[in-house]
Amino acid sequence: MVEQLNPRERILMGPGPSTVPSRVRNALAAPTLGHLDPQYIAYMDETCQLIRDAYQTENPLTFPVSGTGMAGMETAVVNLIEPGDEAIVCINGVFGGRMKDNMQRAGATVHTVEIPWGKSFTTEQLTAAVQEHPNAKVLGIVQAETSTGALQDLSGLGKLTHDAGMLLLVDAVTSLGGHELKVDEWGIDAIYSGTQKCLSCPPGLSPVSFSARAIEKMDARQTPVQSWYLDVSMLKNYYTGGGGRAYHHTAPINMVYALREALAMVLEEGLEARIERHRHLHLQLREGLEKLGLCYVPENSLCTLNCVAFPDNVDDAAVRGKLLNDYDIEIGGGLGEFAGKAWRIGLMGSTATERNVTTLLAALKQCM
């Protein structure tokens, strides 16, 4: 006989997921409806509008992809890229590399702009890349590089790409709901995020949004989208179909309930207030970590994901294991080039509280 599920409650201060509040967990337990039930369609439409509000966009084609943030990445890529297209991808960590991989799998010739991990791109570097590759159809960049904790300034990039006849694709998996993000004002054409980071919803959905420019590119395709499941030309008939919704695949009903509640909580707090909360707690955490002798890796750090290098005499696995086993606190190890060299400490959504900051600093001091 299988024992009743009873996982320990942790303080989730890793790179994701973040703590899921009870209001969101309760939404998961609401009665499941059919994916074409008018009541569910109304909830889904509300959810799509809440995603627009969080992204600060009026894009009609805005919806939750059935899958985690990487499904959002693949959705954007396979719908915007056709075999033979040229694209520019900016790489300063793991997730820029994944974007490159996705674009190559979709048949693109990818030109990369690569800088050391932990660095952020300058306007001059991005301008040079656009000028060097004028035939590129898309420029892809990560706003919040989860592997390094680096924050990328996106101001002016929409105009730069549009003036060159390109689309701007942005990874906002670790920034939506925790950092300033203005899709329409910044001229972002395609964007994706994840539910489990700053939105404090369980992992499983990826909010995406496409501009009119992106839709025009998709409508002009000469070849079918390589992924049937992620083909936006069919998905849009379900998510924006007005009175007649065309069945594509069975939507994850209860996850949409949860995302609806999570987004409602974000907007009830207010985007500006929420961003300021993350900034304030980041500064408090940073001060404490630096007093413990930990150095921040990125020049321009995310508030939501703190990547710090630890001294050579610190046993990485032992410290993280003690935090988890003795204090029920999860922090993340380094990823990629930073494996065994850095910790990634999340301050996202419901996890971003003064109590958690104080608790982590006290526990970390004991463990080190």
Give one DSSP letter per residue of 210-249, joined into a string: E-HHHHHHHHT-SS--S-STT-HHHHHHHHS-TTSPPP-S
Regarding whether 250 and 316 lie in a shared domain, the answer is: no
In a domain, 216, yes or no: yes
As beta bridge partners, residue 171 has: 142, 192
Tokens at residue 204, please? 């499983």
For 41, the 3-state DSSP assignment is helix
Tokens at residue 10, please? 């942790």
Interval 32-50: pLDDT, tens: 999 999 999 999 999 999 9
Regarding whether 204 and 316 lie in a shared domain, the answer is: no
What pLDDT does 244 receive? 75
In this prediction, residues 89-111 reach a mean pLDDT of: 98
Tokens at residue 99, please? 């974007």
In this prediction, residues 268-285 reach a mean pLDDT of: 98
In a domain, 334, yes or no: yes
What pLDDT does 4 receive? 93
Does the structure show a pLDDT above 80 at 243? Answer: no
Distances (CA, A) of 162 to 132, 180, 190: 15, 21, 13
Question: Average model confidence (pLDDT) for the chain?
Answer: 97
CA dihedral 207, 209, 214, 215 (to 10 degrees): 100
Among 267, 283, 309, give the residue marking a domain's end. Answer: 267
**Angle, CA 214 vertex, CA 258 and CA 89 arms, to 5°:** 90
In this prediction, residues 189-217 reach a mean pLDDT of: 98
Query: 188 near 47, Cβ under 8 Å?
Result: no
What pLDDT does 241 receive? 75
For 30, the 3-state DSSP assignment is coil
In a domain, 5, yes or no: no
Regarding whether 181 and 96 lie in a shared domain, the answer is: yes
Regarding whether 294 and 242 lie in a shared domain, the answer is: no
* CATH code, 238: 3.40.640.10
* CATH code, 300: 3.90.1150.10
In a domain, 73, yes or no: yes
In a domain, 105, yes or no: yes
In this prediction, residues 286-314 reach a mean pLDDT of: 96
pLDDT-based confidence at residue 208 (cuts at 50, 70, 90)? very high
As beta bridge partners, residue 332 has: 344
Regarding whether 192 and 48 lie in a shared domain, the answer is: yes
Tell me if the pTM is above 0.85. Answer: yes
In this prediction, residues 120-130 reach a mean pLDDT of: 98
In angstroms, the CA 170 to CA 76 distance is: 9
Domain that holds residue 130: 22-267
What pLDDT does 67 receive? 97
Regarding whether 129 and 260 lie in a shared domain, the answer is: yes
168: left (phi over 0), alpha (psi -120 to 50) or beta: beta
In angstroms, the CA 212 to CA 358 distance is: 45
In a domain, 4, yes or no: no
Does the structure show a pLDDT above 70 at 11? Answer: yes
Regarding whether 38 and 90 lie in a shared domain, the answer is: yes
Residues 6+ apart with CB under 8 A from 54: 176, 177, 181, 199, 207, 263, 266, 267, 271
Number of structural domains, the chain?
Answer: 2
Does the structure show a pLDDT above 80 at 340? Answer: yes
Amino acid identity, position 277: R
Does the structure show a pLDDT above 70 at 250? Answer: yes
Regarding whether 360 and 250 lie in a shared domain, the answer is: no
Regarding whether 33 and 142 lie in a shared domain, the answer is: yes
Give the end-to-end CA distance of the chain in Å, rounded to a whole number: 42
Among 267, 286, 319, give the residue marking a domain's end. Answer: 267
In angstroms, the CA 7 to CA 9 distance is: 6
Regarding whether 202 and 73 lie in a shared domain, the answer is: yes
Among 246, 267, 288, give the residue marking a domain's end. Answer: 267
Sign of the torsion angle spanned by Cα atoms 305, 306, 312, 316: negative
Share of the chain above pLDDT 90, in %: 97
In a domain, 3, yes or no: no
Regarding whether 205 and 61 lie in a shared domain, the answer is: yes
In a domain, 178, yes or no: yes
Does the structure show a pLDDT above 70 at 242? Answer: no
pLDDT-based confidence at residue 269 (cuts at 50, 70, 90)? very high
Does the structure show a pLDDT above 80 at 155? Answer: yes
Residues 6+ apart with CB under 8 A from 225: 78, 79, 231, 232, 233
In this prediction, residues 288-293 reach a mean pLDDT of: 96
In this prediction, residues 100-111 reach a mean pLDDT of: 98
Regarding whether 261 and 145 lie in a shared domain, the answer is: yes
